[in-house]
Amino acid sequence: MKLYKLAETYSPKLNLKQTELAIKQIKEIFQLNLSSTLRLRRVTAPLFVLQGTGLNDDLTGIENAVSFPIQDMNGAVAEVVHSLAKWKRVTLAEYNIAKGYGIYTDMNAIRAHEELDNLHSLYVDQWDWERVIDNSERTVAFLKQIVNDIYSAILHTEFTISEYYPNLKPSLPKELFFIHSEELRRLYPEQTPKEREQLITRKHKAVFIIGIGNDLEDGTPHDRRAPDYDDYSTMNEDGYHGLNGDLMIWSDVLETAVELSSMGIRVDKNALLHQLKISGKEERKGLYFHKRLLEDTLPLSIGGGIGQSRLCMLLLKKAHIGEIQASIWPEQMREECKQLNIPII
């Protein structure tokens, strides 16, 4: 448990009633912009999936999902989702979504392993989205195009909210800065990946770091990714590995980089086999999701997740995610927040 140091004495720009209304407005405005820009239809998502299907996302590979036995299914075990990366791709196939179109949904998850702080909660809420693509669109140029579309939706939402609440002045840069994780390593070779994220995001305020999961030239990855959703190993047209990345936004309130979204072009058959092999997870080839992908019954796609509470937190210039969502916090943290004038829900 920890708290980020605040940049200055904190005074919320909106009171509790205004905050609740603004959260509703941000979510309505952003998802309307996101769905129209990317041509996405809303679908209903599960809170849990069956264990052993390969549908759950194991994130970096070390997190354990919250699970429980299903009494009326002979002891079958359900897992609360970590994300819906693979479930969405199956849903694209089941709904027979055409190329150039996709789906989005509200994803709610429990991540019991999280270290609680201003940005991390036991409760995770995201807009999860997935779109069918053509093989010719499996490029870093197309990835950047989609990322820019999403960032434009964020900018539009920020401006609209500032019209409702004039003391919330727009502060995001008009253009997003792109950099590959290997370029970032070369720029700051003595720093850790997290330190590099801080330095580059402080400088540019809004950054998309491409290539998350594959080993860099020093033999270590910028960060870990599960081997069976994002394509992090394919060589792209820029000469680097990876067709995925993270969107980082600078918080002036906390003076830190905030990961708002993780997204990417998903693995095709070849990338899946390669990434399972290099990660030592080849036994997954027999799971439901992996078999469908290897049998070519799932479409090529691009997708990701966008943090709902984090977006609200950034646009409303809040100091703690607990000002946006109701969750469980240690009593010590609640007391510290109270002393810092941070009203936790």
Q: Which sequence positions are flagged as catalytic?
A: 57, 111, 126, 246, 259, 262
167 burial type by CB count under 10 A (0-12 exposed, 13-18 middle, 19+ buried)? exposed
Residue 194 C-alpha from the chain's centroid = 16
Say if CB 89 and CB 298 are below 8 A apart.
Answer: yes
Q: How many CA atoms lie within 13 A of 59 on its CB side?
A: 13
Q: How many CA atoms lie within 13 A of 11 on its CB side?
A: 3
Q: In whole angstroms, what is the distance from residue 259 CA to residue 209 CA?
A: 10
Strand (E) or helix (H) holding 103: strand 102-110
Q: How far apart are the first and last CA of the chain?
A: 18
Q: In whole angstroms, what is the distance from residue 216 CA to residue 259 CA?
A: 20
Q: Tell how strand 102-110 and strand 77-80 pair up.
A: unpaired
Q: In whole angstroms, what is the distance from residue 204 CA to residue 331 CA?
A: 36
